[in-house]
Amino acid sequence: MMGCAMSIIAPKEHKHLSADALFRVVRNGFDTIPASRSPDAEISLPDALMSAFAMFSLTSSSLLAFDKERAEGNVAPIYGIERVPCDTHMRERLDPVSPKALRPLFQSVFRHLQRVKELEQMTCLAGHY
């Protein structure tokens, strides 16, 4: 079509499933996890957690590969990260975080996806995901 802007628009009932919306939900959840270090730490815990989330969602092969993407790419603006840590800082910030602290956020996102029936196509073995 000439003379008309084209874009992909999510159906109204699924706008909350866009990458931006889900990234905001994840970031807001990370903001609630108590930091184990002083608030004047060089990299905030939510930034470190969001960076780890970005690393896994981008399927980086290693922390070093992610560090290259961090230096060269758009990781910070896409994922809403103020300061993306290098691999050493990410390890230092994330090592003390208990996986139990992340469970409520995972459950919240998972329940949301179940409610809007986005996981139905992934069921197998008697309705399990």
What would the two tokens of residue 24 be?
């905001």
Q: What pLDDT is recorded for position 7?
A: 37
Candidate from 2-6, 44-48, 67-71, 90-94 with smallest mean pLDDT: 2-6
Q: Is residue 12 part of a domain?
A: no
Q: Is residue 19 part of a domain?
A: no
> Shortest CA distance to 45 belongs to which of 30, 29, 57?
30
In this predicted structure, the answer to whether residue 102 has a pLDDT above a threshold of 90 is yes
Percent of the chain with pLDDT over 90: 22
Total tally of structural domains belonging to the chain = 1
Can you count the helices (H) and strands (E) in the chain? 6, 0
Residue 128 bridge partners (DSSP): 124
Q: Mean per-residue pLDDT for 6-29?
A: 69
Q: Is residue 71 part of a domain?
A: yes
In this predicted structure, the answer to whether residue 9 has a pLDDT above a threshold of 70 is no
Q: Is residue 46 part of a domain?
A: yes
Question: For residue 86, what are the domain limits?
Answer: 42-122
Q: Is residue 100 part of a domain?
A: yes
Q: What pLDDT is recorded for position 6?
A: 37
Q: Is residue 104 part of a domain?
A: yes
In this predicted structure, the answer to whether residue 121 has a pLDDT above a threshold of 50 is yes
Q: Is residue 97 part of a domain?
A: yes
Q: What is the pTM of this model?
A: 0.75
Q: Is residue 34 part of a domain?
A: no
What pLDDT digit, counting tens, does each position of 53-80 carry?
998 888 888 878 887 887 777 788 888 8
